[in-house]
Structure 1
Amino acid sequence: MTDIKAGRAVTYNAVKAVICRVSLILFLALSMTYVALPNAAQAQSYRFNQVKIEGNQRIEPATILTYAGIARGETVSAAQLNDAYQRILNSGLFESVSVEPRGGTLVIKVKEFPTINRISFEGNKRLKDADLAQIVRSQSRHVYSPSTAEADAAVLTEAYSQQGRYSATVTPKIIRRSENRVDLVFEIVEGKVVEIERLSFVGNRIFSDRRLRRVLETKQAGVFRSIIQKDTFIPDRVEFDKQVLRDFYLSRGYIDFRVLSVNSEIARERNGFFLTFNVREGQRFKFGEISAVSDLPEVDAEEFMRAVKIKSGKTYTPVAVETTISRMERLAIQKGMNFIRVEPRVTRNDRDLTLDIEFVISRGPRVFVERIDIEGNATTLDRVIRRQFKVVEGDPFNPRQIREAAERIRNLGFFSKADVNAREGTGPDQVIVDVNVAEQPTGSLDLGASYGTDGGLGFSIGFQESNFLGRGQSFNFSLNTASETNSVRFSFVEPALLGRKVRLRFSGNYATTEGFNSTFDTRKASFGIGLEFPISENGRLELRYQLGSDKIFNLATPVAPLVISPILQAEEAEGTVITSQLGYGFSYDTRRTGLNPNAGIVLRFGQDFAGLGGDSQFIKTTALAGAETKVYNEEVTLRAVFEGGAIASLSGTNSRVNNRFFLNGAKMRGFESLGIGPRNGNDVNGNALGGNMFAVMRFDAEFPLGLPEEYGIKGGLFLDVGSVWGLDNTYGSGVDDTLHWRSSIGFSILWTTGIGPLRFNFSKALQKEDYDRDRSFELTIQTQF
C-alpha cells in the first residue's frame, strides 16, 4: 500500500508540474501579444511634420506633392503611403520612386526620366527618316517615356506592314548622355516584301481569273515585282477590291453577285500570300419595261419619259438608272418644280431575267440647304470645292445632288480623302452639308526617256501642277529633245472661268527639226487660246484662236540624180510665214457617262480658218470617228477608227509643208513616219511633201496570249488603210499627188512593264507605191522616272 501511495504521489506531482509549465507558457504568450498589439497598430499610422523631396531636377516639388496627396500634419496609414507611391510612379514622369518615413519627416526620392536629345532611325532603306519621324509620337527635347517608345515601335512596324513587309521588326533603344539626356534610336530590320504569289477566284464562270485580275487594285506578283508596289498583301486594299468586284458585276447586270469570302494564306516560308476570292456570280439581268408615274397634277409623266434613254432588252446597269434619275430631276428644276424626287421601283422577273423599272415622281420634304461647311483644305480654295455643288445656301436640298457633288470632289484628284455628309441645321427644315477633305500632292517634276524607231532615243523634263496655287487650275511645262527634234511646250487651263462650266486654255509650242527624215530644217512656234464648254451630256464645243510662225531653211541639195524640189524652194524663199487662225472643235464621247462599260463611241470634228491677219489663208478641216467594244466575256477588245482631213487654200495661196498632213507610225502602221504621200522626185530618197488631204482607217483587235496575267503581255492584230494626197501647185516637178490607197497588216505585242508601256509592231505593207518607205518592225517605249 505504501508503494502504491508513493506511486500515485509521484504521478500527481508530475502532472502538476506539466500544468504549471503550460500555464506559464500561455501567460507569457498572452503577455507578449498584449504588449505587441499596441506597437503594431502604432506602426501602421504616421504623422509627418514635413515632407522632403530629393532627386527632382525639372519637376517642381509642388507637382510631386500634388501627385502624392499627403498634407503636413495629416495622419496616414501604410496603405495610403503605398497609394501615394503608385500615384507618383504612374504619373509617367519618373524612372524610379521611393517613399521613406523618417520619424516626423517623409522623404520622397525620385529619379526623373531623361530628356530625349535626338531621335534617329537605323537600318531603314525603304522608308525615309522624314517619313518615319512624322509617324512617331516621341519628340526631341521632350521627356522620354518607355511606353511611348514601345507604342512608336508598334506604329513603325505597322507602317512596314502596309508596305507588305510583315517580317519587319522595330526595337527602341536609348543611349545615355550627360545631364540626364538620352538618344532614342529605333533599330529597324525591314525584312523582305511579302508578295501575293497567287491571286485566284472560286465560283466565277462568266469571267475568267485573268479578266477579274485586271479589275482589282491588288495585283499578282510578276516579273517586275521589284518595281510594282501593288502586288503586296494589304488588308485595306482587299476590302476595296471586294467593292470594286461588286461594282464590276453590277454594271454588267449581275445583280445577285456576292463576294462570299476572301481567304488569305501565307506561305510556310512567310515570303508570299495566296489570295483567293470566293464569289457567287448569279444570273445576268436585262432591262424590262420602263415607265414613269406621278400623282402630282403639275407633272406630266409622258414628258418626263422623254428624258429616259434606257432601252428594254439592254443589259441592266445601275449607272443608267442613276443617270435617268438625274435627267428627270434636272428637268423638274428647269420647269420650276422644287423638291421633286424620283425614286425607282424595281420589279424582278426571274422567269425571263428582266428588271422592270418604274420611276415614281413625287414631292419630297421641304428642306433647304442652310450652309456648306468645308474643312481640311489648307491649300485649295473653298470656291474650288463649292463649285462642285449644283446647290448653294438657300436652295432646296436634294440628297442625290449632294452625292454627285461628293463624287465630283473626289474625281478632282486633289484630295486623298473627301467625305461629304448632311446633318440637321438650326431647324427641322434646314440641312448643313459638311465637307471634310485631306489634301494630297498635286504637282510633280518628271524626268523621262523615250525611244521610237523614227526619233530614236530622247529625253524630257517636265513640270505639271493640277491644282495651281490652290485654284484648281492646271499648269504643264515640258522640254523634249531627241537626235533630230527638239520642242518646248506649256499649257495653262482654268477649268471654271468666272465660276461657269467653261474651260479657258492657254498653250504655247516651239519646235525645231534638223533633217528629220528630210534634207531641210524647220522651225515652228505658236501660241493659242481656247474656250471649251459642254453643249450636251456627252458633247463639248471648243472655240479657239492660234497665232503661229513657221520657216523651212537649210534646204540641201539631194543626192544625184535627184534635184532640189521647186516646191520646197518656193517655200524656203517665203522665209518666216505668220499664220493667224480662228477655229472651233466639237467632240462627242460616250465614255464620259460610262453607261456601257464594254463599248464607247468617240466623234470629233473641227475647222480652222486662217486669214485673220498673217500671211496664210486656208480652211483646215479634220474629223475622227472611233468605236470600241469588248467581246468574248471582255477578253477581246475590238476597235475601229476613221480619220480624215482636208486643207482648202484661199486667195491663190499655197499650203506649206509645215501645215500639210502627214501620216506617221501612230496613224498608219507598216510605213515610216513621213513614209507615204507625195514625194520630191517620186523617189524613195526624196523629201516627203505631205498632202492637203488624208484619210485613214485603222482596225485593231487585242487579246490575251495565254501568258500569266502578271506578265502584262497581250497580243494584237491590225489592219490599216489610208493615204495622203493633193498639192496646190507642183511647179511642174512631176510629183505624183493623186490618190493612191495604201494598206498594211500586222501583229502586235503589247507589254505593260514597270518602266513604261512597250509596243512591238510586226507589219507588212499590202498596198504601196514604189516611192513609199515601208517598215516591217517598230518599237516604242516611254517612261517617267
Structure 2
Amino acid sequence: MTNPKKLMRGIFVALALVAAPLAGISGTLIGVDAAQAQEQQLISAVLFEGNSGFSDAQLLAMVNVAEQGRFSQAGLAADAESIRLAYVGKGYMGVTVTPRVEQSESGRARVTFVVNEGQRTGIAAINFTGNNSIGSGTLKSIIRTHETSLLSWLFRDDTYSEDLLTIDRGLIELYYMNHGYPDAQVTSAVGEYDASRNAYFVNFTISEGERYRFGQVGVETSIPGLNPDAMTGAIRTGKGGTYSLADLQKSQEDLAFEATAQGYAFADVRPRVDRDVANSTFNVTYLVDEGARIYVERINISGNTKTRDAVIRRELDFGEGDPFNRSMVQRGKTRIEGLGFFKTVGFDMQAGSAPDKVVINITVEEQSTGDYGLTAGFDSSAGLLGEVSVTERNFLGRGQYVRAAVSASESGQSYDFSFTEPRFMGLRMSSGVDVYHRITEETDKNTYGTTATGGQIRFGAPITTDLSASIFTGLEQKVLKDHEAPFTDVFNPGHVVDFENTFNKAWVGYSLAYNTLDETKHPSEGIYATFSQQYIGWDYNLLKTEAKARYFMPLLSDWNVIGSVKAQAGYIAALDGGTVSPLEAFRSAGSIVRGFQSGGMGPRLNSSQELLGYTGYVAASAEIEFPIPVLPETYGVRGAVWADAALIDGNGALSGMGAVDGGSIDQNFKSSVGASIIWDSPFGPLRGDFAHVLNKATDDKTQVFSLTLQQLL
C-alpha cells in the first residue's frame, strides 16, 4: 500500500518542477526546503579522504549510500558511524568521520567521507594474576591479543578487542587443561583504556587448581569378539603422564578407529575418568560399546570457493550411506584442518529424513595457499646468494603442491621444479616428480665446475597412523669441467681443449618415516625418524644407507623450554669392492656438526685440496630451546644452546683416488658447542648458529656463524 505522505510529497515536488520555469526561477524548487531537495539528488561519486587504516574499496563496502544512488542526511550519518566503528574495532579510539557533499557540474552530488584517524590505539601491557605454575611469557604466546611491539606497525597485531579476549579466555583454559590442570579457570579478562598513553592494559585473572597426572589406564568393551588388548597401542594417556584433555580426546578417536578396523563400525568410545583427589591422579577406563545404528544421509560442504569438494571429502574415512561415528567425524575434521587450506573448519550435525539418519554440514573459510618468495643471504662457501620461488599448496583447488624456484650465487645457479599429487588415482597414496638443472662454477673453492641435470618420480603411502613409506627412482647427468687443466686433443694435434668428463647415474630406493610429534612446526614432544636406502647405478655400483632420528621432550613445559636429542648415521659402499666416487660420497658438514663450513670436513687430495668426501659417519646432537626473556614471544624469536659430535670415516673406500692430505684426516672425531637465535620469519623458520669447534682435523674449514633454515633432522 502506498504511503500517503510519500504520495503527497511526490505530487508536491512534481507541481513545483512544472511551476518553476513559469515563475522564472532557475535552480530552486518552490515549496521544497533545501534538505528535501538534497535528498532527491543523485550521487555522481563516493570518495574518501584521510584513510590509511582501510582502503577505499574496504570503506566503500561499509556504506549504503553508494548502492542507493541517493542520499539523506540521516543515511550519511549512519554510514559515517559505520566507518567509525570499523576503525574502533581496528584499534583507533579517537577517529572522526565527517561526510562532505559537493555539487558537480552535472547537478549531481559528490559525497566525500573525510576521515581523521587520529593516533592508533595499542596495548601497553598484558598482565596475568594467579599463574603460579605457567609463566606469563608462555601464556602470551598462546593468546590472540598481543602487546604493542616494534613490529606492530607492520603486522597490526596489537588491536584491542572484547571478542579476542573471549577467545583468549578459552585458549588459556584449554592450555591449562592440556598441561595437567583440569579445573583451571580464567575468572576475569578485562581491558582498561589509559587515555594519557592512548593504550589498553589487559589483565587476566587465573585460578589454576591442582595439577593431575594419569593413574591406571585400561580398555573395557561390551562388544563380543572385539579384542581390547589389540587396541591399547592407540592409547596416548600413559600411566604417570601429565593429564591432558587433548590426549584423552585423541585416544578416544584412535580407539574408535581401531574398533572400526576390526569390523565394528558403530563402536562408541567413551572415557570414564575417576578422580583420585588424594593422589592427584585420574584413572581412565575407555569404554567401547555398541553405539546407535545411525547412518550418514548427506554431507554438505560450503564456503569453499576455490577448493573442490572432492579434496575435502577425501579426508573423511566415511561417505554418504556409511555408518555414523562421532570419533571418525572428529578425525575427519582434524585432517581437513591439517590441510592448511582453511582458516576455520566447522562441523554441524543435523537430524536426517529418518530417525536413523544424520546430515553433516561442513563449513570452511579459505585462506591463501600461495607463497611468493624473494630471499637473499650469504653462505660461507657459495658467497652471496638469492632465490625467487613460487609455491602453491592447493593448485587449481585440487590440493596439489607445486613449487618452482630459481636461485643464484657467486658459485652458480639452480633451477628446481616439484609437483606432488597427494591422492594418486584417488587412493590414499601420494605421487610426485622433481626436476632440476644446477650449475656450479669453477672457483678457488671448487676445483671443478659442474652442470647437473636430473629428476625423479616418487610415490608415498601411510602404513600405520605414525609410519609412512615412499619409493623413488631417478636419473641424472653430470658434466665436470676444469678450465685450468687443459690438454691436447689426440684427434687434433696442436688443439688444446679444457678437461671435461660426463657421469651418468640412475637410482632407485625407498624411505620410511616415523612421526609421533605433537606438532610439526613447533614440536615439544615426540619422535621423528627416517630410514632410507638407495641403489645408485649406471656409471656407479653403490648402496647408500642413512638413518636419522630426533626425540623432543618438554624440560620445563610451564616455561616453554624444550629439549631434544638427535642421532644419525650413514654409510655408502661400493658393491663391486672398488672405490666410491667423490661425486657420490657424503659431503655434509654443518648439518652434522655445526661450526664447519659446507664441505669443510673430510679427506682432501694432497695435490689440489679437492674435497673427496667420506663414506661413513655416526653423529649425535643435544639441544635446549627456550624463549628469550627480554623479547615478547609474539616476535617468534627463541634461543637455543647445543652440542654436536660426529665420527667420520676419514679415508675408507676413497683410498684409491690419490694421495690424501694428512692434515685432513688427522682427527676424524669432530665436535662443537654453541648458541642459536631462531626466528619464525614470514619466509620460514630461520636460525643463526654461533659455534665454537672443539675437535677438528688440521685442515678442516670452520666458521663461527651460519644462517640456515630450521630443520627437524
TM range, normalised to the smaller chain? 0.7 to 0.9
Q: Structure 1's 88 and 156: CA in aligned 2 closer, same or farther, altered over 3 A?
A: farther
Q: Which one of the candidate residues 340, 350, 353 is aligned to 2:280? A: 353
- Pick the aligned partner of 1:690 from 613, 631, 648: 613
Q: Is 2:562 the partner of 1:637?
A: yes
Q: Does 1:273 align with 2:200?
A: yes
Structure 2 CA distance for aligned equivalents of residues 451 and 272 of structure 1: 40
- Give, in angstroms, the shift of residue 746 of structure 1: 2.3
**Per-residue CA distance 1:201-255 (angstroms, 9 max, x = gap):** 1101111112222222333223333334323323333332222222221111210
The answer to whether the aligner puts 1:477 opposite 2:404 as a matched pair is yes
Contact between 1:707 and 1:713, CA under 8 Å: does it hold in 2? no
Aligned pairs for 1:605-754 within 5 A: 605-611=531-537, 614-632=538-556, 633-651=558-576, 654-681=579-606, 686-709=609-632, 714-724=638-648, 725=650, 726-736=652-662, 740-750=668-678
Distance 1:314 1:646, change over 3 A: same
Matching of residues 6-155 of structure 1 within 5 Å: 67-69=2-4, 84=5, 111=37, 113-139=40-66, 142-155=69-82
What does 1:555-634 align with in structure 2 at a 5 Å threshold?
Answer: 556=484, 575-591=501-517, 598-611=524-537, 614-632=538-556, 633-634=558-559
TM-aligned CA distance change 1:452 to 1:150, over 3 Å: farther
Inter-partner Cα distance in structure 1 for 2:688 and 2:317:
47
- How far does residue 543 in structure 1 lie from its aligned partner after superposition? 1.0
The TM-score normalised by the length of structure 2 is 0.86
Q: Is contact 2:373-2:683 (8 Å) kept?
A: no
Q: Secondary structure at the match of 2:251?
A: helix
Note the 1:321-336 alignment, pairs <5 A. Answer: 321-336=248-263
Cα separation, 1, equivalents of 2:11 and 2:110: 17
Q: Does 1:512 align with 2:436?
A: no
Cα deviation, residue 302, structure 1:
4.7
C-alpha spacing 1:300/1:227, structure 2 compared with 1 (3 Å) = same
1:379 pairs with 301, 306, 309, which one?
Answer: 306
Decide whether aligned partners of structure 1 residues 141 and 456 sit closer, same or farther in structure 2, where only a CA change above 3 A counts: farther
Alpha-carbon displacement from aligned partner over 1:394-441 (angstroms, at most 9, x marks no partner): 111112222332232233232334322111111111111112233333
Q: Using the alignment, how far apart are the partners of 2:75 and 2:456 within structure 1?
A: 59
SS of residue in 1 equivalent to 2:554: strand
> 1:299-338 residue pairs with structure 2 within 5 A?
299-305=226-232, 307-338=234-265
RMSD of Structure 2 on Structure 1 (CA):
3.3
Structure 2 counterpart of 1:650, one-letter code: L
Residue 97 of structure 2 is aligned to residue 173 of structure 1 = no
Contact 1:118 1:140 in 2 (8 A): no
Cα–Cα, structure 1 residues 96 and 123, in superposed 2: closer, same or farther, change >3 Å? farther
Report the AA paired with residue 616 of structure 2.
M
Distance 1:746 1:115, change over 3 A: same
- Superposition deviation, residue 598 in structure 1: 3.9
Q: Distance in 2 between matches of 1:779 and 1:402?
A: 43
> Displacement of 1:315 after TM fit?
1.3
The residue identity in structure 2 corresponding to 1:604 is: T
CA distance in 2, matches of 1:591, 1:88: 75
After superposition, residues 370-449 of structure 1 pair within 5 angstroms as 370-449=297-376
Q: 1:484 to 1:189 in 2, by over 3 A?
A: farther
Distance 1:688 1:734, change over 3 A: closer
Match of 1:230 in 2: 157
Q: Which residue of structure 2 lines up, in the alignment, with residue 769 of structure 1?
A: 697
Deviation at 1:700, TM superposition (A): 1.7
2:525 maps to amino acid? A
Distance 1:468 1:195 in 2: 38
Question: Residues 278 and 643 (structure 1 numbering): CA distance in 2 closer, same or farther, change over 3 Å?
Answer: same
Distance 2:412 2:231 in 1: 57
Structure 2 unmatched runs, 5+:
20-29, 487-497
Structure 1 residue 174 displacement after superposition: 2.3
Change (3 A) 1:307 1:483: closer
Query: Compared with structure 1, are the counterparts of its residues 414 and 758 closer, same or farther at alpha carbon in structure 2 (3 Å cutoff)?
Result: closer
**Counterpart contact for 1:242–1:259, Cα < 8 Å:** yes
Is the 1:423–1:433 contact (alpha carbons within 8 Å) kept by the matching residues of 2?
Answer: yes
Q: 1:712 to 1:306 in 2, by over 3 A?
A: closer
Which residue does the alignment assign to 1:242?
169
Deviation at 1:696, TM superposition (A): 2.4
How many aligned residue pairs are there? 676
Q: Which moved more, 1:772-781 or 1:173-182?
A: 772-781
Counterpart CA distance in 1 for 2:684 and 2:511 is 31
Q: Is the 8 A contact 1:88 1:97 kept in 2?
A: no
Q: 1:48 aligns to what?
A: none
- Distance apart, 1:194 and its partner CA: 2.0
8 Å contact 1:743–1:768 — kept in the other structure?
A: yes
- Distance, in Å, in 2 between the alignment partners of 1:96 and 1:253 is 75
- Per-residue deviation, 1:624: 0.5
Post-superposition offset of 1:127? 2.9
CA contact (8 A) 2:393 2:400 kept: yes
Gap change, CA 1:137 and 1:459, over 3 Å in 2: farther
Q: State the 1:383 CA deviation.
A: 0.6
CA distance change for structure 1 residues 173 and 412 in 2, over 3 Å: closer, same or farther? farther
SS at match of 2:257: helix
Q: What TM-score results when the alignment is normalised by the length of structure 1?
A: 0.79
Q: CA-to-partner distance for each residue in 1:648-697, whole Å, 9 max, x for gaps?
A: 12346643333321234343222222111111218xx8232212223322
CA gap 1:174/1:441 in 2 versus in 1, 3 angstroms: farther
What is residue 60 of structure 1 aligned with on the other side? Answer: none
* Distance in 2 of aligned mates of 1:408 and 1:95: 66
8 Å CA contact retained: 2:622, 2:644: yes
SS at match of 1:623: strand
